[in-house]
Amino acid sequence: MKIHEVVKYPEPVLAKRATEVTEFDAKLAKLVDEMFDSMYAAQGIGLAAPQIAISKRITVIDVSFKERPEEKLALINPVIVEQEGRQVEEEGCLSLPEIREKVVRAEWVKVKAQNVKGEWFEVEGTELLARALQHEIDHLDGVLFIDRISRLKRELVMRKIKKLQKNGEW
């Protein structure tokens, strides 16, 4: 199985809306499997296709990190259809290594998506799963979690990234 490299901010693919998936074939199923493997290799609990430089509306999530395989989610063309409440927790991102900030998200979400066969389904999540769903769907819309923090905090993050880039660590 191929492990894809996770692209880092400010890679342009991370800032644009990904295209809808229209072909549900063996190639898509293989890509989803590779995305799970790539996510695990990078020590993540979620990965969106744009993070591996593929501008398609595909994301994989496993908040248990392999402990409960039955809870693994592959979401094709996902859309948040309902949300409620408010939670504020620290988030990180595989495309922004070493950056963590508190982000406001909905406490509960309902998402409608397609599976690798193209069949529609719904999934509901609270707490960490709700956060992961929102974070990964944001990626598909070209939004990073740093776009959801205050301008001052974002400027501090940008300075940190520039320093890491200058030192060849980014």
Kindly name the residue from 23, 71, 136, 155 that is annotated as catalytic: 136
136 in active site: yes
Q: Please state the residue numbers annotated as binding site.
A: 93, 135, 139
Distances 57 to 80, 96, 160, 166 between C-alpha atoms, Å: 13, 20, 30, 33
Q: Please state the residue numbers annotated as binding site for Fe cation.
A: 93, 135, 139
If you count them, how many residues does the chain have?
A: 170
Residue 5 in tokens: 């490299």
Strands (E), 3-100: 46-48, 58-61, 73-84, 87-91
Q: How many CA atoms lie within 13 A of 155 on its CB side?
A: 3
Rounded CA-CA distance 146/91 in Å is 9
Active site (catalytic) residues = 136
